[in-house]
């Protein structure tokens, strides 16, 4: 009987749309267990009742349960699942993923975590499974954190995975009909120094790519296996190398793959690569690009080392309008040192971009939240005495509201919340209505969009009674949602999950 590893994708509180994001991180590491002769079962707690299914799949052949972790609400269910496993089995609980890699000490200290495998799982998960299977301590495997005589012990940090040895993710492990964002990762990391991003620490600001032949092979596999009409590139920075993107675009065109593809992109590439390049990108099927523009103030862009000019944003809006790509633009406010004037520049830029490209889409005006691994954390710890959460469970409720951002007083925080909501009712109102507004909420929706239009036009964000109301409603709903997810995960009779497992076992 093959030894088995159970991989768990903990639910995110935010479940947008009907389909779910694929548990891509786990699909990516599973082949490195399968090639070593281990059986892998993937449990997605957004789809499966984790209590029911874990009791079914964890047996004497199970070596360990691997859990992925991203900073934010995913930590909530990851802790819940880990604690539950401890009540039904002695099997080791192993955490991995971005959050565990950035803060391994905090994670390994928890009694419900036995090991942390830090870094890219392709390297250490196979050897780790063998060490558990042969009952050998994992001392010779890099990137492993464990407890020895109550003390935290760790092996040396592992290097980067050689992407030329990449295997195609294990898409067989999931029921793809349940997911959107089927796609591939053609490269990792980003050469840019943006101070609010995890990339500096997680990828050492290095960009790496898979060899083109592997990328082509993986696209062939996905297109023939799923007959996709849309393809997502999970890269941190897909456009780092111009020639590589041109080769991928020509490959899609030459193979007549009529697929809409999308990914993230930086605006300065529009200035550097020019219109003809993005014409090719459009012809190859790219319909949408997500851009983190962050601010309309050059001073703030320079401060966060975004390495972009406002002029790049104008070029981006112009070129996307001319070649027919929809830019989804994300902005951020509340960055330390930001003034009301900087924020005004951001609002003006949002209006200006929509004028240049009416199809442009302002997705969010997020409020800066210090995520681990970002250099800016060191700055705010030094200059604003910011205290990063010291325990894993503190990250469960970690968001803009809960963390002490000393450079913002209470009144300013309230205004920022209003500023972050208003654009959604101005620029996102159609999607908002389609996604979230049902019958009883309609009158409230019309009042909110009317008031938002007035507020936005007059840049007036104080006395925001309607947003305090909205926030209370959303918090209530999120807690209910989280409760629902957990109740859903807890309740026993889950046909779909049992059916799924039986189908896979068949």
Q: Toward ligand B12, which CB reaches closer, 97 or 323?
A: 97
Contact 155, 138 (CB under 8 A): yes
Q: Toward ligand B12, which CB reaches closer, 9 or 313?
A: 9
SS3 263: strand
- For residue 101, the minimal CB distance to ligand B12 (Å) is 6
Q: Toward ligand B12, which CB reaches closer, 89 or 321?
A: 89
Q: Toward ligand B12, which CB reaches closer, 210 or 323?
A: 210
Q: Using the 8-state DSSP alphabet, how is residue 365 labeled?
A: E
Interacting residues of 444 by C-beta distance below 8 A, sequence separation 6+ = none
- For residue 256, the minimal CB distance to ligand B12 (Å) is 28
The backbone torsions φ and ψ at residue 401, rounded to the nearest 5 degrees and listed phi first, read -70, -35
**Calpha distance 272→277 (Å, rounded):** 10
- Token pair for 32: 């490195």
The sheet carrying 230-233 orders its strands as 183-184, 230-233, 260-264, 286-294, 326-333, 361-367
Block residue for tokens 């442009």: 360
The backbone torsions φ and ψ at residue 159, rounded to the nearest 5 degrees and listed phi first, read -85, -165
SS3 299: helix
Q: Using the 8-state DSSP alphabet, how is residue 326 labeled?
A: E
- For residue 151, the minimal CB distance to ligand B12 (Å) is 22
Q: DSSP string spanning 231-245? A: EEE--S-TTSSHHHH
Interacting residues of 416 by C-beta distance below 8 A, sequence separation 6+ = 333, 334, 367, 400, 408
Which residues bind to ligand B12, rule: CB under 6 A?
Answer: 12-14, 21, 24-25, 28-29, 66-68, 70-74, 94, 96-99, 101-102, 117, 120-122, 125, 185, 197-199, 234-236, 366, 371-373
Q: Toward ligand B12, which CB reaches closer, 12 or 323?
A: 12
- For residue 207, the minimal CB distance to ligand B12 (Å) is 11
Q: Toward ligand B12, which CB reaches closer, 197 or 489?
A: 197
- For residue 363, the minimal CB distance to ligand B12 (Å) is 11
Q: Toward ligand B12, which CB reaches closer, 163 or 408?
A: 163
- Token pair for 497: 């999950």
Block residue for tokens 């390049």: 277
Q: Toward ligand B12, which CB reaches closer, 43 or 323?
A: 43
- For residue 272, the minimal CB distance to ligand B12 (Å) is 21
- For residue 232, the minimal CB distance to ligand B12 (Å) is 8
Q: DSSP string spanning 73-89? A: THHHHHHHHHHHHHHH-
Q: DSSP string spanning 427-446? A: HSHHHHHHHH--GGGHHHHH
- For residue 32, the minimal CB distance to ligand B12 (Å) is 9
Q: Toward ligand B12, which CB reaches closer, 270 or 395?
A: 395
SS3 109: coil
Cross-strand partners of 20 = 179
- For residue 424, the minimal CB distance to ligand B12 (Å) is 13
């Amino acid at each position: 009987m093959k030894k088995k590893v159970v991989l768990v994708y903990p639910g995110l509180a935010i479940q947008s749309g009907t389909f779910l994001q694929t548990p891509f991180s786990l699909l990516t590491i599973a082949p490195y267990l399968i090639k070593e002769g281990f059986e892998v079962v993937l449990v997605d707690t957004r789809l499966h009742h984790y209590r029911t299914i874990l009791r079914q799949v964890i047996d004497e052949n199970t070596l360990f349960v691997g859990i992925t972790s991203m900073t934010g609400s995913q930590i909530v269910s990851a802790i819940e699942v880990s604690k539950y496993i401890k009540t039904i089995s002695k099997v080791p609980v192993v955490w991995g993923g971005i959050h565990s890699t950035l803060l391994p000490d905090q994670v390994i200290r928890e009694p419900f975590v036995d090991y942390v495998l830090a870094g890219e799982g392709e390297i250490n998960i196979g050897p780790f499974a063998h060490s558990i299977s042969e009952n050998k301590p994992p001392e010779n495997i890099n990137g492993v954190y464990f407890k020895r005589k109550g003390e935290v012990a760790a092996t040396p940090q592992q290097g980067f995975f050689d992407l030329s040895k990449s295997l195609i993710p294990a898409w067989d492990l999931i029921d793809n009909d349940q997911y959107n964002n089927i796609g591939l990762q053609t490269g990792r990391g980003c050469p840019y120094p943006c101070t609010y991003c995890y990339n500096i620490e997680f990828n050492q600001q290095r960009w790496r790519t898979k060899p083109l032949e592997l990328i082509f092979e993986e696209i062939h596999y996905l297109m023939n296996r799923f007959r996709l009409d849309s393809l997502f590139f999970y890269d941190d920075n897909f456009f780092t190398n111009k020639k590589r993107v041109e080769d991928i675009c020509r490959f899609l065109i030459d193979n007549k793959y009529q697929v809409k593809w999308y990914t993230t992109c930086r605006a300065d590439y529009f200035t550097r690569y020019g219109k003809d390049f993005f014409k090719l990108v459009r012809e190859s099927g790219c319909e949408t690009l997500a851009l983190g523009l962050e601010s309309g103030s050059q001073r703030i862009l320079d401060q966060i080392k975004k390495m972009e000019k406002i002029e790049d944003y104008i070029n981006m809006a112009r070129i996307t309008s001319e070649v027919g790509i929809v830019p989804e633009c994300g902005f951020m406010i509340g960055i330390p040192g930001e003034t009301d004037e900087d924020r005004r520049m951001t609002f003006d830029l949002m209006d200006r971009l929509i004028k240049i490209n009416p199809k442009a889409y302002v997705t969010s005006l997020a409020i800066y939240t210090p995520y681990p691994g970002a250099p800016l954390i060191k700055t705010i710890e030094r200059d604003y005495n910011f205290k990063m959460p010291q325990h894993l469970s503190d990250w469960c409720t970690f968001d803009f509201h809960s963390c002490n951002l000393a450079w913002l007083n209470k009144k300013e925080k309230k205004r920022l919340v209003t500023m972050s909501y208003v654009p959604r009712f101005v620029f996102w109102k159609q999607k908002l209505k389609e996604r979230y507004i049902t019958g009883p909420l309609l009158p409230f929706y019309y009042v909110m969009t009317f008031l938002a239009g007035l507020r936005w036009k007059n840049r007036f964000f104080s006395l925001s009674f309607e947003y305090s109301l909205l926030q209370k409603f959303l918090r209530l709903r999120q807690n209910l949602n989280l409760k629902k997810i957990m109740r859903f995960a807890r309740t026993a009779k889950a046909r779909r999950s049992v059916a799924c497992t039986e189908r896979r076992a068949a």
